């Protein structure tokens, strides 16, 4: 097994371990620190979008910054269009990615969700080079492919890779929504101020199963798991003035301190709002939800 292949396997295994600890959105500092391979530290990311550690001859990862200079997007076939570095097709970083295409070598894709946080996706492969558009086409593949030498990875169906990549795209959007909402609410429940990330969700005001729902911060609110469930069940509602209301039958119920302090005491209190008014819950969406809450009373 080549050093190149060993390093990539070590990187993928390390990422698996970190995701099991931190979840699939990883802090940049962790990725910059990386892992140790044969007494050498191997980072996973650098200021450049196309990153090659010193130990390798070809790039190990590509990343999209949440506020970067390039507009990376998914094309009509469902694959990621990844912009060249600069406008010179012969820049060494672009040449390096082109070589991974020719040799069918797997990479890591780090998608910037919010500043300092990246969703890690692997293995990804460069499957096309489009110099006229200054882009590479990137596909996600099954994890089993990374345990084979590059020469052993058989050409797989475009449809299958497109399906896997589209699935990852959905996950990117879901995780992006969560991280942006939690960031807007300063990582605390808008009802009770709980700040433990493990116990926080990004709740939709208009559920994402409904056609008018949008994965935007103004259609979201950071809630702890208790209050998320209560909000989804119309036990709790928010009126257009951002005041919490508790369903009438719950207010009349007597069932111990958890009901009293966890739910009933919230009645007529105001939710915690993001610092930026443009990120506040959309009043029109809040009102649509509130009218459904009133019918449940």
pLDDT in tens, 15-71: 999 999 988 899 999 999 999 999 999 999 999 899 999 999 999 999 998 765 445
Identify whether the C-beta of residue 117 lies closer than 8 Å to the C-beta of residue 202. no
Q: How far apart are CA 125 and CA 120, in angstroms?
A: 14
Residue whose token pair is 């609110």: 221
User: Of how many residues is the chain composed?
Assistant: 297
Tell me what pLDDT residue 76 has: 77
Q: How far apart are CA 143 and CA 7, in angstroms?
A: 16
**pLDDT grade for 146, boundaries at 50, 70 and 90:** confident
Among 223, 227, 222, 221, CA closest to 258: 227
Rounded to 10 degrees, what is the CA torsion of 150, 62, 81, 143? 40
Q: How far apart are CA 142 and CA 159, in angstroms?
A: 13
Tell me what pLDDT residue 150 has: 56
Record the pTM: 0.77
Q: How far apart are CA 92 and CA 57, in angstroms?
A: 11
Q: What percent of the chain has pLDDT over 90?
A: 73
Q: How far apart are CA 111 and CA 45, in angstroms?
A: 11
Residue 257 vs residues 125, 215, 244, 268: alpha-carbon distances, Å: 55, 36, 19, 18
Q: Name all domains of the chain by residue range, CATH numbers in brackets.
A: 3-181 (2.30.280), 187-296 (no CATH)
């Amino acid at each position: 097994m080549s050093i190149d292949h060993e390093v990539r396997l070590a990187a993928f295994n390390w990422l698996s371990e970190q995701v099991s600890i931190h979840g699939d959105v990883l802090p940049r500092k962790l990725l910059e620190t990386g892992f140790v391979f044969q007494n050498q530290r191997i980072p996973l990311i650098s200021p450049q979008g196309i990153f090659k550690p010193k130990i390798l001859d070809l790039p190990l990862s590509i990343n999209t910054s949440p506020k970067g200079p390039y507009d990376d997007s998914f094309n009509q076939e469902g694959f990621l269009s990844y912009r060249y570095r600069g406008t010179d097709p012969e820049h060494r970083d672009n040449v390096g990615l082109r070589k991974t295409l020719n040799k069918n070598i797997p990479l890591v894709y780090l998608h910037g969700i919010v500043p300092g946080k990246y969703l890690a996706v692997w293995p990804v492969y460069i499957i096309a080079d489009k110099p006229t558009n200054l882009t590479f086409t990137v596909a996600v593949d099954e994890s089993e492919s990374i345990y084979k030498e590059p020469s052993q990875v058989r050409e797989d169906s475009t449809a299958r890779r497109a399906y896997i990549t589209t699935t990852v795209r959905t996950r990117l959007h879901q995780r992006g929504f969560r991280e942006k909402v939690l960031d807007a609410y300063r990582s605390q429940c808008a009802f009770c101020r709980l700040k433990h990330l493990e116990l926080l969700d990004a709740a939709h005001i208009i559920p994402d199963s409904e056609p008018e729902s949008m994965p935007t911060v103004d259609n979201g609110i950071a809630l702890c798991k208790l209050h998320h469930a209560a909000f989804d069940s119309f036990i709790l509602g928010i009126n257009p003035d951002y005041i919490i209301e508790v369903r009438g039958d719950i207010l009349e119920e007597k069932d111990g301190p958890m009901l009293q302090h966890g739910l009933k005491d919230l009645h007529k209190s105001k939710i915690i709002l993001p610092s930026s008014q443009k990120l506040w819950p959309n009043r029109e969406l809040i009102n649509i939800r509130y009218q459904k809450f009133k019918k449940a009373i």
